[in-house]
Amino acid sequence: AQSVAQPEDQVNVAEGNPLTVKCTYSVSGNPYLFWYVQYPNRGLQFLLKYITGDNLVKGSYGFEAEFNKSQTSFHLKKPSALVSDSALYFCVMDSNYQLIWGAGTKLIIKP
Amino acid sequence: NAGVTQTPKFQVLKTGQSMTLQCAQDMNHNSMYWYRQDPGMGLRLIYYSASEGTTDKGEVPNGYNVSRLNKREFSLRLESAAPSQTSVYFCASLNDVTGGEGQYFGPGTRLLVL
């Protein structure tokens, strides 16, 4: 069965430290993978996508994600966290034009 | 461009009442989607429309109907609202999943069913 898992409900990081939000997936074939962000009381915004090619994908607001086929992971990373990065992050996989969403990880950046 | 718009932003219904959530996009996208968002559940797909004139069920279609009125508009109808349908509803549109910027989302509709 195709699925996306975000194993952490919440991630706490001090401002200025690197952050990682984890995502693993299960699919037959090659996945298309996305990260979306939802800021408090606002709609969803696209961050970045992996379709093919370079395993390191760069996106908006200084975020990047690393695609690892052997570990079936697509972790979201940022070298130096900002308080303004605090939000809800979703990992998403495309499967035949239907998007399969992870449950979301709440990222809290403390000053 | 207004992007994806949704109306209403908030709605309170009594059990058994009906209502239609409206969604429109002005980006000439082929595909449109309706999701519901519940705490700890992520987004769950209710229905989607890959092109004008077609609609398909998603993960949680029961209790809902949709209409793809034209390329711009995709409405979601609750015929007889139930408390379990209390949620935040998001409409989205997509041009090309391989070459585009992912889905574009509306601001959401907060629905409370009493």
What is the per-residue pLDDT across B26-58, written as a single tens digit (0 to 9) for each?
988 888 999 998 876 678 889 989 888 889 888
Asked if B72 and B27 touch (Cβ cutoff 8 Å), the reply is no
Min Cα distance B63 → chain A (Å) is: 20
Please judge whether B42 and A103 are an interchain contact, meaning their C-beta atoms are less than 8 angstroms apart.
yes
Q: Could you say which of A32, A46, A92 has the minimum Cβ distance to residue B101?
A: A46
3-state secondary structure of B28: coil
Please judge whether A103 and B45 are an interchain contact, meaning their C-beta atoms are less than 8 angstroms apart.
no
Please judge whether B42 and A102 are an interchain contact, meaning their C-beta atoms are less than 8 angstroms apart.
yes
CB contact, 8 Å: B89 with chain A?
Answer: no
Q: What is the pLDDT of residues A64-96, one digit of tens each?
A: 999 999 999 999 999 999 999 999 999 998 776
Q: What is the pLDDT of residues A52-71, one digit of tens each?
A: 888 999 998 999 999 999 99
Asked if B43 and B36 touch (Cβ cutoff 8 Å), the reply is yes
